[in-house]
Amino acid sequence: MDQTTKPRLLDQVRERCRVKHYSIRTEKRYVDWIRRFILFHDKRHPARMGAREVEAFLTHLAVNRNVAPSTQNQALAAILFLYKEVLEIEFPWLDGVTRAKKPPRLPVVLTPAEVRGVLVQLDGVHHLVASLLYGSGLRLMEAIRLRVKDVDFARLEVTVRDGKGGKDRRTMLPGSLVEPLERQRDKVRILHEQDRRDEIAPVYLPYALARKYPNAGRELGWQYLFPARRLSRDPRSGVVRRHHLNEKSFQRAIKQAVRAAGLSKPASSHTLRHSFATHLLENGYDIRTVQELLGHQDVRTTQIYTHVLNRGGHAVRSPLDVAGC
């Protein structure tokens, strides 16, 4: 290809996502939304469009497609990324966009007995991951992306690297998980030694660490704590290596466990994190402490759990109970 020829637009989006250290999941979503935006306007180049076309597309999503607010916000983020980071065009605030309104929703929370009922239906790695979601308040992707070095057994701490918002944080490691996780670490060590004998490519390292520390990917500490059973091809580099546990297989296991436990609540893997926060508040822990453990930037995000505390309508006693009927 002629060196003066610019890459195709979507390839420029992918390249810019990688420069900004965006995850492969975000990259794929942004590329998909930008493609849909272009197709909606009959394949016109975005450089020849403006705020009016963006408003029309987002309004179409809200009015005609009836998408969830989070979906429309994701589409908007992708388009703004295209104009700001790739095309280098500043956009005025899009006042004309019809936003999909987000109705107030309380998080689904399980009781401690219900949590036990779900966990008992799981085994092996799935049980360990679910226990970390509830016991440490981790998000699903934070748990399955843990490296061996991120668990400090002596200090009973779990370090979350590059969590939501690109921030690191520390949270608690339940004492009951020390022995199971030490056994899991030993399994990882055996698997890692076998992979090295088989000359499997080193584990994926984020950002430029692979260039800065070329041997780090072969060290035990950098291996995923919950590795996949099978090798897979890296979608960016094409290298065949061992990745982490597939999140979709875990979500299926949780769905089956909730069903087997006989729960009628629409519980998911994230419900365990909601339950972690609510149960800490019920046990009298300070909301700022819970905020820090969850990694919330704003305490108002954490405050939503105060609305689902097990206190019978904000600790108000029903007149039916007072009357003894």
Q: What is the dihedral of CA 145, 131, 173, 244, to 10 degrees?
A: -10
What is the 8-class DSSP label of residue 269? H
Residues with Cβ < 8 Å from 118, sequence gap 6 or more? 110, 130, 254, 257, 258, 261, 263, 267, 272
Active-site residue list: 139, 164, 270, 273, 296, 305
Phi, psi of 216, rounded to the nearest 5 degrees: -65, -35
Output the CA angle 295-23-269, nearest 5 degrees.
Answer: 50
Whats the size of the chain, residue-wise?
325
For residue 123, give Cα distances in angstroms to 74, 75, 168, 173.
35, 38, 29, 19
